[in-house]
């Protein structure tokens, strides 16, 4: 093979928050993807000293025009053919959504097989923690473009405009609202004292669950989106990708909690990303389309 041979695209553009200390946003996603063998183009939507959950801190949001120009540069980058996927997470400004959408369209125009995974980071059980305009921009501009979405339970409820009290209502909402694959984190579990990741596709509803660990550090959703994307890019089928992603994230969470860490300790537990040993329960749930297909 000569040096001009073109490799199969495997780079990922990750657009999310950056913190100086911690393992959230881009810090979590980039580490996971690079550890699993993917070059990453990292785009910060906001720069923070640490996660806001640790206390007030300076928040640097790129100027909207400069951010747009930066993203336009990426759209015309001569190396865009290297890109196999785009992952977007936390946005620092509602106007960033249109720029992300334009980049996704440009990537897909050059590589129709490229994946777009949208992690609509907007809120949690306590409500929205981004301005409503930012949440609406993610809902209206980004989710419709996504091949995969990874909302938590609250975020799916917000987009659906309804409380989702059980798995059947969550499955119905995911099918109604979602892209081809919808991975709902912090989903209701069937096991006592558990919590689950619910994956809904046009053909399957799968639940991977494990025991709930109280007071978990931030970054689990960012890590889940990145690892699930890497599993799919490695060719794992949906059920396997869900199980191995959940096992890896749970193992890192459990080990961090055992040490008393206030941030996910990805650098210490990097092996768990590729070779998780944790056991998770995988269940095949009733899919609303099963009777129609029978």
Q: For the purposes of burial, counting CB atoms within 10 Å of the CB of 106, is it exposed (0-12), middle (13-18) or buried (19 or more)?
A: buried
For 193, counting Cβ atoms within 10 Å of its Cβ (0-12 exposed, 13-18 middle, 19+ buried), the class is: exposed
Which phi and psi (to 5°) does residue 46 adopt?
A: -160, 150
SS3 13: strand
In the numeric block, the tokens 């930066």 are attached to 70
Domain hosting 255: range is: 11-293
Q: Is residue 186 part of a domain?
A: yes
Q: Is residue 162 part of a domain?
A: yes
Question: Domain for residue 6, yes or no?
Answer: no
> If residue 137 lies in a helix (H) or strand (E), which one and from where to where?
helix 132-137
Domain CATH number, residue 186: 3.40.1190.20
The pLDDT tens digits of the residues spanning 213-270 come to: 998 988 899 999 999 999 999 999 999 999 999 999 999 999 999 999 989 999 999 9
Q: Is residue 59 part of a domain?
A: yes
Q: Is 15 in contact with 86 (CB distance < 8 Å)?
A: yes
What pLDDT digit, counting tens, does each position of 105-143 carry?
999 999 999 999 999 999 998 889 999 999 999 999 999
> For the chain, what is the domain count?
1
Q: How far is CA 90 from the centre of its chain?
A: 10
State yes or no: pLDDT of 101 exceeds 90: yes
- β-bridge mates for residue 185, sequence order: 152
- Please report whether residue 66 resides in a domain: yes
* pTM over cut 0.85: yes
Q: Is residue 1 part of a domain?
A: no
**Residue 153 CB burial class (10 angstroms; 0-12, 13-18, ≥19):** buried
- Residues 3-42 have pLDDT tens digits of 444 578 899 999 999 999 999 999 999 999 999 999 999 9
2 located within any domain? no
Q: Is 239 exposed, middle or buried (0-12, 13-18, 19+ CB in 10 A)?
A: middle
The pair phi, psi for residue 129, each rounded to 5°, is -120, 15
Q: Which residue matches tokens 């196999």?
A: 84
Is residue 33 a contact partner of residue 12, using CB atoms and an 8 Å limit? Answer: yes
């Amino acid at each position: 093979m000569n040096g001009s041979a073109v490799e199969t695209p495997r780079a990922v553009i990750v657009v999310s928050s950056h913190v100086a200390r911690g393992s959230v946003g881009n810090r979590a996603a980039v580490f996971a993807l690079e550890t699993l063998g993917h070059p990453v183009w990292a785009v910060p939507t906001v720069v923070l000293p640490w996660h806001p959950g640790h206390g007030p801190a300076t928040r640097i949001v790129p100027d909207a025009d400069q951010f747009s120009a930066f993203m336009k540069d990426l759209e015309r980058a001569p190396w865009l053919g290297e890109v196999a996927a785009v992952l977007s997470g936390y946005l620092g400004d509602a106007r960033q959504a249109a720029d992300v959408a334009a980049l996704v369209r440009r990537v897909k125009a050059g590589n129709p097989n490229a994946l777009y995974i949208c992690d609509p980071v907007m809120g949690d059980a306590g409500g929205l923690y981004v301005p409503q305009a930012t949440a609406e921009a993610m809902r209206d501009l980004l989710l419709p473009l996504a091949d995969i979405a990874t909302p938590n339970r609250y975020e799916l409820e917000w987009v659906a405009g309804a409380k989702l009290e059980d798995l059947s209502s969550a499955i119905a909402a995911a099918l109604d609202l979602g892209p081809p694959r919808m991975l709902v984190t912090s989903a209701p579990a069937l096991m006592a004292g558990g919590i689950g990741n619910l994956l809904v596709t046009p053909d399957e509803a799968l639940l991977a669950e494990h025991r709930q660990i109280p007071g978990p550090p931030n970054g689990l959703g960012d890590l889940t989106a990145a690892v699930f994307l890497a599993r799919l890019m490695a060719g794992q089928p949906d059920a396997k990708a869900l199980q191995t992603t959940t096992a890896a994230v749970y193992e890192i969470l459990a080990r961090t909690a055992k040490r008393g860490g206030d941030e996910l300790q990805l650098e210490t537990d990097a092996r768990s990303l590729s070779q998780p040993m944790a056991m998770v329960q995988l269940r095949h749930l009733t899919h609303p389309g099963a009777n129609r297909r029978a």
